[in-house]
Amino acid sequence: RIVIIGSNGQIGTELATALRAKFGAQQVVTSDIREPQIPDSEGPFEIIDVLDRKSLHLLFTKYRPTQVYLLAAMLSATGEKHPRQAWDLNINGLLNVLDLSIEYNVKRIFWPSSIAVFGPHSPKTNTPQYSVMDPNTVYGISKLAGERICEYYFNRYGLDVRSIRYPGIISWKAAPGGGTTDYAVHIFHEALKSNHYACFLAPDTALPMLYMDDAIRGTLALMDAPAKNLSIRSSYNLTGVSFTPAKLADEIRNYLPEFVITYDENDPRQAIADSWPNSIDDTEAQRDWGWNPRFNLSEITADMLTNLKEKYRYNDGKSI
């Protein structure tokens, strides 16, 4: 069986769909701290708090997973509002899963890191795999510590845990929660709803981004790669495309010519974004397991608007 912990989230939702398509619905167990908005009719679902070792133990006993995907985490912006809870969930949740994975001899574990592990003194452009890393958000600090823990469990216990430093992820199926890059998702919804978006990042804030289809395909490619090919056991740099809010607005106007973007100054997420790279060098992922992004900014924009148009027309009956 494959177990996904945190399957209600932006990435977990689509990982569940992809893994069920690949391994069969009954082979993939989804789990989260509460029921999903739309009940999971595809396959087994369990309510799990990753910080409750007892319930986690029961999950591993019941399903004896061969693979575990740990997606439960508190992201950057929310983490700055609740720093202790963010550290606790992101670090102790990981330790609980790694320890149980040893006890139950889980073959492969996936855990997401983030470009948030880089900080103000990391190179801003084409940030390399190995670099000065001085993250100044609790989220980034917890992800950097988590990477060191994953590499330790691999070297000390031979646990085959694999990880990707996700950039901002853009998708339309499930809402993102509490991130700084989420402007690049909200903007599409607002453009379709009201032809206007009040952006919480400044127009020239360049950030590395990745379309969800690419993120899922890359994650499965890493998990399928032969262990001997993997030279990185902390977490792989990965990126799709870098752009600014102003560039994204221009791209949207190619489809919605009346679209207007305005900028809210002084949002706390600006300082978080300013501490992160503008672009990422993912040479190691390309070399070790054939990473190659497929969606550029224009294709992301077209796919998002096409799919969300359907979603909005369906929900509100309003014509876009």
Binding site for ligand VAH (CB under 6 A): 75-76, 114-116, 139, 167-168, 179-181
Q: Which residue, 45 or 139, has its beta carbon nearer to ligand VAH?
A: 139
Name the token pair of 296.
Answer: 């550029």
Q: How far apart are CA 56 and CA 31, in angstroms?
A: 10
The least CB distance from residue 76 to ligand VAH, in Å, is: 3
Q: Which residue, 68 or 75, has its beta carbon nearer to ligand VAH?
A: 75
255 among known catalytic residues: no
Half-sphere exposure of 53 (CA within 13 A, CB side): 8
Q: Which residue, 114 or 234, has its beta carbon nearer to ligand VAH?
A: 114
Are 265 and 202 in contact, with CB atoms under 8 Å apart? yes
The residue number whose beta carbon is nearest to ligand VAH equals 179
Among residues 139, 153, 197, 236, the one annotated as catalytic is: 139
The least CB distance from residue 91 to ligand VAH, in Å, is: 15
The least CB distance from residue 99 to ligand VAH, in Å, is: 25
Q: Which residue, 161 or 164, has its beta carbon nearer to ligand VAH?
A: 164
Q: Which residue, 192 or 238, has its beta carbon nearer to ligand VAH?
A: 238
The least CB distance from residue 199 to ligand VAH, in Å, is: 14
The least CB distance from residue 78 to ligand VAH, in Å, is: 8
3-class secondary structure per residue, the chain: CEEEECCCCHHHHHHHHHHHHHHCHHHEEEEECCCCCCCCCCCCEEECCCCCHHHHHHHHHHHCCCEEEECCCCCHHHHHHCHHHHHHHHHHHHHHHHHHHHHCCCCEEEEEEEHHHCCCCCCCCCECCCCCCCCCCHHHHHHHHHHHHHHHHHHHHCCCEEEEEECEEECCCCCCCCCCCCHHHHHHHHHHHHCEEEECCCCCCCEEEEEHHHHHHHHHHHHHCCHHHCCCCCCEECCCEEECHHHHHHHHHCCCCCCEEEECCCCHHHHHHHCCCCCECCHHHHHHHCCCCCCCHHHHHHHHHHHHHHHHHHHHCCCC
Q: Which residue, 27 or 78, has its beta carbon nearer to ligand VAH?
A: 78
The least CB distance from residue 75 to ligand VAH, in Å, is: 4
Q: Which residues are catalytic?
A: 139
